[in-house]
A and B are shown apart, each in its own frame.
Chain A
Amino acid sequence: MKPSYFDRFLLVICALLGMVAGLALLLVAAGFFSLEAARLMVDAYAAQAGSLNFRLLVGCVGLLVFLVSLRLIIGFNKRSKAQKEPTATAATIATGDYGTVQISLAAIDAMVQRHCRTNNKVREAASVVSTRDGGVAISLKLVLLSDANVPEVTAELQKSLKEYIEGLTGIVVNDISIMVISAPSQQALQK
């Protein structure tokens, strides 16, 4: 589950404090700052503030750090209460006397990819297959070659892909939507 903005803000604060603490330890290791000096500073502050006040302050800081850490652990591991609808992973080819025949959407996707690759005008293709109205719907994002005629290539691909999938699987293809990500420029077309 995506953490909330408040959790992310706390995480940033903790990370910054962690950086400061790490830097301080580095300075101690490098010899620029000694633990003895730090202890003297703390003792001086404790003497000025009073023993009780100092202990209260330390306790409050410790409690704050503990609560922030606990909040971060819970916030980053909380599961969403809303139950998502299970997405279909297979489409039904036929239901008959012998039983049901199904095909996984991944198998159809592999066939779509194969068919798109055989088209010599298509450089790259990303596909998503989903079930719809008893059949399947295919969504394609294409990168075409620079000399491709976009309307012709896409219309031909829609027709051939529909015939290909329906012919080999027996499943009805209800929709093939295509988005061309990269197309030849108008200047190149006019030349």
Chain B
Amino acid sequence: MAPDKSISADVKAIEGGKIVFAPDVIATIANLAAGEVEGVASLSGSMVEGITGMLGGKKNLTKGVKVEIAEETATIDVAVIVKYGFKIHEVCQNIQRKVKTTIETMTGLSVAAINVSVQSISFDKGESKAADAVAEAEQPEA
């Protein structure tokens, strides 16, 4: 029988049971939590994920998230695309806090680490003019 890769939490249930989470569940929660952070344009998935998402028509809710399972903890890797103009290190710290809090609140699991990788910067057309103006204003006068 294949080893069970889901995470289990020994919750002190009244009836004495076990709660098991599939990795995709953790990934979905992390994906949605990270997407809510201000400054995050989207999560960055692999090319295969992008193509299957386009062909399938359904939004891939685990895109850009990898979950590694230890005994009772999880390590989560998140790949994001950050909007131009936001301080990247602050956005990433917010992602880490938000994802950790959300997963621990919703599942009761312990999160060992949340590693964030910024894959690229998103320059929206509407924001680029404003961002250019900000950049010019920030430049010291010659």
**Nearest A residue to B88, CB-CB:** A169
A98–B118 touching, CB < 8 Å = no
Q: Does B125 contact A (CB under 8 A)?
A: no
A114–B135 touching, CB < 8 Å = yes
Q: Which residues of B contact A99 (CB under 8 A)?
A: 75-76, 96, 113-116
Contacts A93-B92, A101-B117, A104-B120 supplied; 14 other A-B pairs, CB < 8 Å: A93-B88, A94-B93, A98-B96, A99-B96, A99-B114, A101-B89, A101-B93, A102-B115, A107-B82, A107-B121, A152-B142, A156-B142, A164-B135, A168-B88
A98–B97 touching, CB < 8 Å = yes
Residue-by-residue, is B15-56 near A (CB-CB < 8 Å gives 1, otherwise 0)?
Answer: 000000000000000000000000000000000000000000
Instruction: From B76, B86, B118, give the contact of A104 (CB < 8 A).
Output: B118
B140–A160 touching, CB < 8 Å = yes
Q: Which residues of B contact A170 (CB under 8 A)?
A: 87-89
Q: Which residues of A contact B119 (CB under 8 A)?
A: 104, 106-107
**Nearest A residue to B112, CB-CB:** A99
Residue-by-residue, is B97-130 near A (CB-CB < 8 Å gives 1, otherwise 0)?
Answer: 1001000000000000111111111010000000
Q: Which residues of A contact B75 (CB under 8 A)?
A: 99
Q: Which residues of A contact B92 (CB under 8 A)?
A: 93-94, 101
A100–B87 touching, CB < 8 Å = no
How many residues on the B side are at the interface (Cβ–Cβ under 8 A)?
31
Q: Which residues of A contact B138 (CB under 8 A)?
A: 160, 164
Q: Does A162 contact B (CB under 8 A)?
A: no
Q: Does A167 contact B (CB under 8 A)?
A: yes
**Cα of A48 to Cα of B140 in the assembled complex, Å:** 91
A118–B93 touching, CB < 8 Å = no
- Interface residues of chain A, those whose CB is within 8 Å of chain B, are 90, 93-94, 96, 98-104, 106-107, 110-111, 114-115, 118-119, 152, 156, 159-160, 164, 167-170
**Nearest A residue to B97, CB-CB:** A98
**Cα of A110 to Cα of B123 in the assembled complex, Å:** 10
Q: Which residues of A contact B82 (CB under 8 A)?
A: 107
**Cα of A96 to Cα of B93 in the assembled complex, Å:** 9
Given A115-B135, A170-B88, A170-B89: A98 touches B114 (CB 8 Å cut-off): yes
Q: Which residues of B contact A98 (CB under 8 A)?
A: 93, 96-97, 100, 113-114
B96–A90 touching, CB < 8 Å = no
Given A101-B93, A103-B88, A169-B89: A118 touches B117 (CB 8 Å cut-off): no
Given A93-B89, A118-B136, A156-B140: A102 touches B116 (CB 8 Å cut-off): yes
**Cα of A127 to Cα of B87 in the assembled complex, Å:** 21
Q: Which residues of A contact B96 (CB under 8 A)?
A: 96, 98-99, 101
**Cα of A170 to Cα of B84 in the assembled complex, Å:** 15
Instruction: From A101, A160, A169, give the contact of B116 (CB < 8 A).
Output: A101
Q: Which residues of A contact B113 (CB under 8 A)?
A: 98-100
A106–B89 touching, CB < 8 Å = no
